[in-house]
Amino acid sequence: MSILDEFLLTDRVAIVTGASSGLGVAFAHALADAGAAVVLGARRTDRLAAVAAEITGRGGRALAVPLDVADPGSCAAAAEAAVAEFGRVDILVNNAGLGTAYPASRETPEQFRAVIDVNLNGSYWMAQACGRRMQPGSSIVNISSVLAITTAGLPQAAYSASKAALLGLTRDLASQWTGRKGIRVNAIAPGYFATEMTDQYEAGYLDGMRSRMLIPRLGRLEECAATLVWLVSPAAGYVTGQTIVVDGGVSIT
């Protein structure tokens, strides 16, 4: 057996939340390329259908399901749809996220709660729904952010708090489930990648951030997706409870 075989996901079934754009699309394609059947979840079902068509057009297996991660019932339905279509759930990628930038003195309770409800609570509801169905050897990856461990000059209290909380959730679920259920739980903390979120930054912001990047460019989506494939594959079978930072060095400057 080649070492490269350790990165294959043949006969595995993955759910990717927030799979209608950005990193979610890259994650879905990478998992499918590695051999997994992919269940795509998001609220924008028209975009999901397009992503699913791209994957099946390349010979992969994909199912698009409407998903609101803030609704525990919707999370349970997505997990059940994966089982009904493909027979199992082996991988969960908690990628759905909401980013806002409000000054802390003016952020409303509704604005703050909306971010927490998607980024933190939604990841927990999905982990619950999938963890109840997963077998030993399964894997959960929570997509956090470099803002969980550093700051970046924008007023993002809700976003930063939610992404930092995901790291605590990752450690606790790993502690509860890896030994008892054989489910590995890890996190990825991406830095700056070209996505819808970075498109919303004011002109000049990313240019300023490049001075903090040891690799002075935006990350390529494929670089983060390759990290994900490794983390959910047998190649990372001895890794759990960890946060893998993919940020070009921003967090250490």
What are the residue numbers of the active site? Answer: 159
Total count of residues recorded for the chain: 253
DSSP assignment string, 33-44: HTT-EEEEEES-
Q: Which residues of 182-205 are buried (b: 16+ CB within 10 A; e: fewer)?
A: ebbbbbbbbbbbebebeeebeeee
Number of H helices, E strands in the chain: 9, 7
Point out which residues pair with 63 in neighbouring strands.
Answer: 39
**Helix, strand, coil percent content, the chain, rounded in steps of 5:** 50, 15, 35
DSSP H/E element including 73: helix 72-86
